[in-house]
């Protein structure tokens, strides 16, 4: 098992448009959050304010990138259906990545709260890394538990650490990327530290184009 560098992307998504993404290069610098967050303490209701006059409907939002964390500001290369292609240069080292959120998610028991969940595929020329698949699951995984990703009828075991997952057999990574390029959906399943089972379905529409774009940018 090879040691992975965790490229943690923080994003805010409003379907169907990717509104924001931020990039943090330090490995495991941000701890996983608890799966369930206690409700905030009750406060006195605020005094009602007069409603502002109605404004004309705004045009559809376009992808935009805010100031990034860790001193690296991602640049949007293009939005391809459900996948965004980005580049950044944390620490002066160029990185390119394609990123998406799940099209649908389920938990057992149902309705369990989670932090944002997403998959990204990164290329880091300085480290000779191409199309590395990383998944942020939105909760701390059960310690020592593996997870799984499936594309069509092909399953790919994942190893986990904190709230991240990577393909267990690095030699199969190119096969998984190839399957995703030609597939319709990818399904990621895992178990949280509290025993909650999750299943996230990612649309693969636009992934091939996003990877072609990141491959051009990070040759």
Is 186 contained in some domain?
Answer: yes
Could you give the CA distance from residue 215 to residue 217 in angstroms, rounded to a whole number?
5
187 lies in a domain? yes
200: closest CA among 115, 92, 94?
A: 115
Kindly state whether residue 104 falls inside one of the protein's structural domains. yes
Distances (CA, A) of 37 to 107, 115, 139, 183: 16, 10, 11, 36
Threshold 0.85, pTM exceeds: no
- Answer for the pair 161, 202: CB distance below 8 angstroms, yes or no: no
pLDDT confidence of residue 117: 95
CATH number (domain holding residue 124): 2.60.40.1880
Residue 70 lies in a domain: no
Kindly state the DSSP code that residue 54 receives in the 8-state scheme.
Answer: P
For the chain, 219 residues long, give each residue's pLDDT as a single digit of tens: 444 544 443 333 322 233 333 333 333 223 233 333 333 333 333 433 444 444 333 333 334 333 343 466 899 999 999 999 999 998 889 999 999 999 999 999 999 999 999 999 999 999 999 999 999 999 999 998 899 999 999 999 999 999 999 999 999 999 999 999 999 999 999 999 999 999 999 999 999 999 999 999 998
pLDDT of 126: 94
Look at residue 71 in the predicted model and tell me its pLDDT. 60
Residue 29 resides in a domain = no
Residue range of the domain that includes 95 = 77-217
CA distance 203 to 145: 25
Number of domains in the chain: 1
**Structure token digits, residue 90:** 């944390």
> Domain for residue 107, yes or no?
yes
pLDDT of amino acid 91:
85
């Amino acid at each position: 098992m090879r040691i992975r560098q965790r490229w943690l992307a923080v994003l805010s998504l409003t379907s169907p448009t990717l509104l924001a993404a931020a990039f943090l290069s330090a490995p495991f610098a941000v701890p996983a959050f608890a799966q369930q967050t206690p409700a905030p303490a009750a406060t006195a209701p605020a005094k009602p304010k007069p409603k502002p006059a109605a404004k004309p409907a705004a045009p559809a939002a376009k992808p935009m990138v805010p100031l990034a964390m860790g001193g690296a500001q991602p640049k949007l290369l293009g939005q391809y259906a459900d996948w965004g292609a980005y580049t950044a240069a944390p620490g002066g080292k160029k990185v390119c990545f394609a990123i998406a959120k799940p099209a649908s998610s389920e938990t057992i028991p149902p309705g369990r709260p989670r932090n944002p969940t997403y998959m990204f595929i990164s290329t880091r020329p300085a480290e000779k890394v191409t199309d590395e698949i990383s998944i942020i699951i939105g909760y701390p995984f059960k310690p020592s538990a593996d997870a799984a990703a499936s594309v069509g009828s092909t399953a790919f075991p994942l190893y986990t650490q904190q709230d991240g997952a990577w393909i267990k057999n690095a030699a199969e990574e190119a096969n998984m990327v190839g399957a995703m390029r030609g597939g319709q959906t990818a399904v990621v399943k895992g178990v949280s530290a509290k025993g909650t089972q999750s299943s996230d379905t990612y649309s693969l529409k636009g992934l091939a184009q996003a990877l072609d774009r990141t491959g051009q940018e990070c040759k």
